[in-house]
Amino acid sequence: MRVHSERRGSGPLLICHPGGPGFDGSELLDLGGLDRTRTLLLVDPRGTEPTGPAGSFSLDDYVADLEELRADLALETIDLLGFSHGGLVAAAYAIAFPQHVRKLVLASGLAAFTPEMDEEAKRAIEAKAGEPWHAEAVAALEREAAGEYETPEDNARMWNEMAPVYFSTWDESYRPLVGVERLPTEPLRAFNASSFDLRPGLQRIDAETLVITGRDDFICGPAAAAPLVEGIPRAELVLIDDAGHFAFLEQPDLFREAVEGFLSR
């Protein structure tokens, strides 16, 4: 199996791994307009429809797929951006292959699930209790935690219902950008059944690293960013105000300027 990818924009190459797990590269859209200055190589991870099914979905599998992609591109070093679950993959790749990463961007990423992240999520969800979509979103989050989804259509419906909580300020204009009709179940089930903790290996990352997230991101916000910044030797942190998980949608200019400024210096 070889992962499918698509190019968008023009300029120096930036390999971009989406999140989920289960979303394909189209989730990233233009990353807040980064395609104006970068060629975005949008990866469609294993299990997504453009790449096809896979037999396993371990973190090592995703890392091996990225390494195979790098080798196919005949590049000794790459600039790599990982978003959400893709940030976990990108960090794991940089730990395993530090010699092949020039610059690393961890956008709404994480190294491990921590009690601080759990407390941050609870506070953020409770703060939105007055929103009309709140009850439906919380019910969807609970169904995910319980594994109550059987088909790609079930998974997509569950995601569409919980999507508003991933934003600092939800607006229905975001719906066409994040809504999906089908979402594979196997990657998410495998992830929720796994355990991981990259913190002991973060010091192996040699690349300059940008850790960037929305200040109001309930799932991969400041509490998730802290271990990455503390553990990666050459890491810097950017917190974007008035943005949740999808900072590149809520604050595209701030996101683009921070990432492009980091990559181009």
pLDDT in tens, 10-34: 999 999 999 999 999 999 999 999 9
Of 31, 96, 21, which is closest to residue 262 (Cα–Cα)?
Answer: 31
- Confidence band (pLDDT; 50, 70, 90) for 1? confident
The mean pLDDT of 246-262, rounded to a whole number, is 98
The Cα–Cα gap between 248 and 223 comes to 19
Helix (H, G, I), strand (E, B) or coil at 230: helix
The mean pLDDT of 57-74, rounded to a whole number, is 98
Distances (CA, A) of 202 to 41, 65, 210: 25, 20, 13
List the domains of the chain with CATH numbers: 4-115+195-264 (3.40.50.1820), 118-191 (no CATH)
Q: Could you say which DSSP state residue 262 is in?
A: H
Of 69, 61, 60, which is closest to residue 13 (Cα–Cα)?
Answer: 69
Structure tokens that stand for 74 in this block? 């005949």
Q: Please give the pLDDT value at position 78.
A: 98
The Cα–Cα gap between 160 and 127 comes to 20
Assign 3-state DSSP to the chain and report helix, strand, coil percentages, each to 5.
Answer: 50, 15, 35
Of 213, 152, 157, which is closest to residue 188 (Cα–Cα)?
Answer: 152
The mean pLDDT of 236-258, rounded to a whole number, is 98
- Encode pLDDT of 181-219 as tens digits: 999 999 999 999 999 999 999 999 999 999 999 999 999
Report the percent of the chain where pLDDT is more than 90: 100
The mean pLDDT of 210-233, rounded to a whole number, is 98
Given a cut of 90, whether residue 167 has pLDDT beyond it is yes
The mean pLDDT of 89-116, rounded to a whole number, is 98
Distances (CA, A) of 14 to 4, 17, 80, 223, 247: 15, 10, 6, 26, 18
Cβ contact 209:104 at 8 Å: yes
Q: Which long-range contacts (CB under 8 A, 24 or more apart) does 71-76 make?
A: 72/2, 73/13, 75/13, 75/100, 76/100
Cβ contact 122:227 at 8 Å: no
The mean pLDDT of 90-104, rounded to a whole number, is 98
- Encode pLDDT of 112-166 as tens digits: 999 999 999 999 999 999 999 999 999 999 999 999 999 999 999 999 999 999 9
